[in-house]
Amino acid sequence: MTPHVAHLALSHFRSHRRTRLDLDGRPVALFGPNGAGKTNLMEAVSLLSPGRGLRRATADEIVRRPEAIGWKIRADLAGPDLGHEVELTAEPGAPRNVRLDGKAAPQVALARLIRIVWLVPAQDRLWIEGSDGRRRFLDRMTMSFLPDHAEDVLAYEKAMRERNRLLRDEVRDPAWFRALEAQMADAGAAISHNRATALARLATAQEGAATAFPVAELSLDGETGPQDAVGLAEALAEGRARDMAAGRTLLGPHRADLGAVYVDKGVPARQCSTGEQKALLISLVLANARALKSETGAAPLVLLDEVAAHLDAGRRAALFDEICALEAQAWMTGTGPELFAELGLRAQHIAVAEENGESVATPVEDAP
């Protein structure tokens, strides 16, 4: 049995005052009108991994209004060598708390329980907007392979913030910079190595894959500087004057960008049509899932928000076939049940509606 969420309970989470779902590991098709609360369910699942979830929301942004009494997520995770209860809570004005099997745990512990990958409508413009979004997309994929990547990124960013403060204050004593640059160099080298490892695994997962979606050739671009710790430390030291004039660090892995080329056409992703760009994103999420299954023996959870609406019937059927072949518990949203007709009994179908100011999720046994 594939790793999956077997039970999900929400309390005062966004539009869900109280929602409970029992699940059996099949893909989950959530359908209902816009604003009914489908994506809120998916967001709750995304918070079972480290970070701020698919909307990158703070704890206070998630709480249900007008009660504002805090929120809770409880999930039972099931599968081979997996049987855990995860509870996430947040009181008003307080950060999120994680409990694993009844005991307090750090967020990073979640990454070692179950892997989660996702695609949301906000990423549709990924290839044509700024590099920040592409870097986050790459780091999410990297963290799915290497959970410790999140700690490397946090360590690098913390040291860089301190260095940037020294630069803005025009501190010129090199002794103040050396320790911070050494920390940045060590963490930065790990980040670069992790990202390169992730790209290599994605490339392998795309080679010869039986997929209806286009292959993307990925590259790591931008002013990243040397990839080794010694070289990066030297580059940071040499660049202090330039960085001080700018008031920030101008070189390092925080300047990385993810490049992509539609292989069959030889066209950069940013020059592709909107439909082709979406197909490339779907292809990468599926490749990420295939690579994880090949490496760990188990498919990750796959979250696809409003993906069905952007595909014709043939592509939708192909996507569903690939998800079922992966044996992944994929959570998908759409406005109507007809969007998931090709799944039939291969999925659990759940209608989501707003009733009396709150979201209600109802399993549908006779869905098409």
Whether pLDDT at 308 is above 90: no
Q: What is the mean pLDDT of residues 33-44?
A: 96
Q: How far apart are the first and last CA of the chain?
A: 25
Residue 24's φ and ψ, nearest 5 degrees, are: -120, 10
| 285/276 Cα distance (integer angstroms) | 14
Which pLDDT tens digit goes with each residue over 188-206?
Answer: 999 999 999 999 999 999 9
pLDDT tens profile 146-200 = 999 989 999 999 999 999 999 999 999 999 999 999 999 999 999 999 999 999 9
Q: Compute, in degrees rounded to 10, the torsion defined by CA atoms 184, 189, 193, 194.
A: -20
**Rounded Cα–Cα distance for residues 15 and 358 (Å):** 5
Instruction: Report pLDDT digits (tens) over 309-323.
Output: 778 888 899 999 999
| pTM of the model as a whole | 0.92
d(CA 217, CA 83): 37
* The two three-digit tokens of residue 2, written as one number: 């594939």
The pair of three-digit structure tokens given for residue 236, joined into one six-digit string:
């940071």
Res 1: pLDDT:
63
User: Tens digit of pLDDT for each residue in 5-35?
Assistant: 999 999 999 999 999 999 999 999 999 999 9
Mean pLDDT (the chain, rounded): 93
Whether 198 contacts 141, CB under 8 Å: yes
Rounded-to-10 torsion of CA 2, 38, 97, 11: -110
Average the pLDDT over 227-236 and give the result: 97
Query: In this structure, how many other beta carbons lie within 10 angstroms of the beta carbon of residue 13?
Result: 26
- Cα–Cα distance measured from residue 350 to residue 337, given in angstroms and rounded to the nearest whole number: 9
Q: How far apart are CA 364 and CA 368, in angstroms?
A: 10
**Which pLDDT value is given to residue 2?**
81
